[in-house]
Chains A and B, each alone.
Chain A
Amino acid sequence: MSAIEAHGVFKIFGRRPERGVRALQEGRDREELRARGLTPAVIDATFSVDPGEIFVVMGLSGSGKSTLIRTVNRLLDPTAGSVVIGGTDISSLDGAALRQVRREKVSMVFQHFALLPHRTVGENAAYGLEVQGVNRSDREARAEEALGMVGLDGWGASLPSELSGGMRQRVGLARALAAGTDIMLMDEAFSALDPLIRREMQDQLIDLQQRLDKTILFITHDLNEAMRLGDHIAMMRDGRIEQIGTAEEILNNPVNNYVAEFVQDVDRTRVLTAANIMEQPVALLGSGAGPRAAQKLMREHQLNWLLVVNRDRTVEGLLWSHGVASAVHDGQDALPLYRDGLRFTSPDTTLNDLFAEAASSPAPLIVRDDAGRLLGVIPDVTLLAAMGNGQPGGNGETPGVSPHDIQTPIDGSTAEVV
Chain B
Amino acid sequence: MEDQESTVIPSIQVGDWVESGVDWLTGNFREIFRTFSDVLETLINGLIDALLFVPPDLMIVVLVLLGLILRSWQFAVGSALGLSAVVAMGMWEAAMQTLGIVVFATVVAVLIAVPIGVLAARNRVVSNIVQPVLDFMQTMPAFVYLVPAVILFGIGFVPGLLSTIVFALPPGVRLTELGIRQVDAETVEAGQAFGATPRQILRGIQLPLATPTIMAGVNQVIMLALSMAVIAGMAGADGLGKLIVESIARLDVGLGAEAGLSVVVLAIYLDRLTASIGGSGSDKSLGALIRRSRGRSVAQRVTTGI
A residues in contact (CB < 8 Å) with B = 70, 73, 75, 99-104, 106-108, 110-112, 114-118, 120-123, 126-128, 130-132, 137, 140-141, 143-144, 147, 154-159, 175, 179, 185
Partner of B194, one of A103, A120, A122: A103
Contact (Cβ within 8 A) B195 A122: no
Contact (Cβ within 8 A) B195 A99: yes
Question: Binary interface profile of B, 263-306, with partner A (CB < 8 Å = 1, else 0)?
Answer: 00000000000000000000000000000000110111111110
Partner of B302, one of A106, A118, A123: A123
**How distant is the Cα of A155 from the Cα of B296 in the complex, in angstroms?**
11
**Closest B residue by C-beta to A130:** B204
Contact (Cβ within 8 A) B195 A157: no
Contact (Cβ within 8 A) B186 A120: no
Partner of A131, one of B184, B189, B200, B302: B200
* Chain B residues in 8 Å Cβ range of A141: 305
Interface of B is mostly: helix
Contact (Cβ within 8 A) B195 A102: yes
- Within 8 Å of chain A (Cβ to Cβ): is B208? yes
Partner of B299, one of A75, A101, A117, A122: A122
Q: List 11 A-B contacts (CB under 8 A).
A: A101-B195, A110-B189, A112-B184, A118-B208, A118-B209, A120-B295, A121-B303, A127-B194, A140-B305, A144-B304, A155-B303
* Chain B residues in 8 Å Cβ range of A143: 302-303
Contact (Cβ within 8 A) B192 A102: yes
Contact (Cβ within 8 A) A156 B299: yes
* Chain A residues in 8 Å Cβ range of B196: 99, 131
* Chain B residues in 8 Å Cβ range of A107: 193-194
**How distant is the Cα of A100 from the Cα of B187 in the complex, in angstroms?**
19
**How distant is the Cα of A292 from the Cα of B159 in the complex, in angstroms?**
114
User: How far apart are A151's CB and chain B's nearest CB, in angstroms?
Assistant: 14
Q: How many residues of B contact A (CB 8 A)?
A: 27
Question: Binary interface profile of B, 119-141, with partner A (CB < 8 Å = 1, else 0)?
Answer: 00000000000000000000000
Partner of B187, one of A116, A137, A185: A116
- Within 8 Å of chain A (Cβ to Cβ): is B190? yes
Contact (Cβ within 8 A) B305 A137: yes
B residues in contact (CB < 8 Å) with A = 184, 186-187, 189-197, 200, 204-205, 208-209, 295-296, 298-305
Partner of A120, one of B190, B197, B299: B299
Interface centre among B189, B190, B197, B209 (most CB of A within 10 A): B190
**How distant is the Cα of A214 from the Cα of B204 in the complex, in angstroms?**
28
Contact (Cβ within 8 A) B299 A157: yes
Contact (Cβ within 8 A) A122 B303: yes
* Chain A residues in 8 Å Cβ range of B184: 112, 114
Instruction: Give me 4 other A-B pairs in contact (C-beta within 8 A), A131-B196, A140-B305, A175-B194 excluded.
Output: A106-B193, A108-B189, A132-B195, A147-B303
* Chain B residues in 8 Å Cβ range of A70: 189
**How distant is the Cα of A101 from the Cα of B205 in the complex, in angstroms?**
21
With A116-B187, A118-B208, A118-B209 already in contact, the answer to whether A140 and B302 are too (CB < 8 A) is yes
With A108-B190, A110-B186 already in contact, the answer to whether A103 and B195 are too (CB < 8 A) is yes
**How distant is the Cα of A110 from the Cα of B186 in the complex, in angstroms?**
7
Minimum-distance CB pairs A-B, first 3: A156-B303, A103-B195, A157-B299
**How distant is the Cα of A117 from the Cα of B279 in the complex, in angstroms?**
13
Partner of A179, one of B192, B194, B204, B302: B194
**How distant is the Cα of A121 from the Cα of B295 in the complex, in angstroms?**
12
Partner of B193, one of A108, A120, A147: A108
Contact (Cβ within 8 A) B195 A116: no
Contact (Cβ within 8 A) A114 B187: yes
Interface centre among B189, B190, B301, B303 (most CB of A within 10 A): B303
**How distant is the Cα of A155 from the Cα of B300 in the complex, in angstroms?**
9
**How distant is the Cα of A122 from the Cα of B298 in the complex, in angstroms?**
10
**How distant is the Cα of A137 from the Cα of B200 in the complex, in angstroms?**
20
Contact (Cβ within 8 A) A131 B296: no
**Closest A residue by C-beta to B298:** A120
Contact (Cβ within 8 A) A75 B193: yes
**How distant is the Cα of A274 from the Cα of B304 in the complex, in angstroms?**
43
* Chain B residues in 8 Å Cβ range of A73: 193
**How distant is the Cα of A193 from the Cα of B241 in the complex, in angstroms?**
59
With A110-B186, A116-B205, A131-B200 already in contact, the answer to whether A157 and B303 are too (CB < 8 A) is yes
Contact (Cβ within 8 A) B305 A144: yes
* Chain A residues in 8 Å Cβ range of B192: 75, 102
Partner of B190, one of A101, A110, A157: A110
**How distant is the Cα of A106 from the Cα of B208 in the complex, in angstroms?**
26
With A103-B195, A116-B187 already in contact, the answer to whether A157 and B302 are too (CB < 8 A) is yes
* Chain B residues in 8 Å Cβ range of A118: 208-209
Contact (Cβ within 8 A) B194 A108: yes
Interface centre among A70, A157, A179 (most CB of B within 10 A): A157
* Chain B residues in 8 Å Cβ range of A122: 299, 302-303
Contact (Cβ within 8 A) A131 B209: no
User: How far apart are A157's CB and chain B's nearest CB, in angstroms?
Assistant: 4
**How distant is the Cα of A128 from the Cα of B193 in the complex, in angstroms?**
9
**How distant is the Cα of A158 from the Cα of B209 in the complex, in angstroms?**
18
With A114-B184, A179-B194 already in contact, the answer to whether A120 and B302 are too (CB < 8 A) is yes
**How distant is the Cα of A98 from the Cα of B304 in the complex, in angstroms?**
33
**How distant is the Cα of A141 from the Cα of B304 in the complex, in angstroms?**
8
* Chain A residues in 8 Å Cβ range of B194: 102-103, 107-108, 127-128, 131, 175, 179
* Chain A residues in 8 Å Cβ range of B205: 116
**How distant is the Cα of A185 from the Cα of B186 in the complex, in angstroms?**
14
With A114-B184, A118-B208 already in contact, the answer to whether A154 and B303 are too (CB < 8 A) is yes
Contact (Cβ within 8 A) B209 A128: no
* Chain A residues in 8 Å Cβ range of B197: 99
User: How far apart are B188's CB and chain A's nearest CB, in angstroms?
Assistant: 9
**How distant is the Cα of A375 from the Cα of B200 in the complex, in angstroms?**
51
Contact (Cβ within 8 A) B303 A117: no
Contact (Cβ within 8 A) B200 A157: no
**How distant is the Cα of A111 from the Cα of B204 in the complex, in angstroms?**
21
* Chain A residues in 8 Å Cβ range of B304: 144, 156
**How distant is the Cα of A130 from the Cα of B181 in the complex, in angstroms?**
24
* Chain B residues in 8 Å Cβ range of A102: 192-195
User: How far apart are A154's CB and chain B's nearest CB, in angstroms?
Assistant: 7
Partner of B195, one of A100, A111, A115, A140: A100
* Chain A residues in 8 Å Cβ range of B204: 116, 130
**Closest A residue by C-beta to B200:** A131
* Chain B residues in 8 Å Cβ range of A104: 195
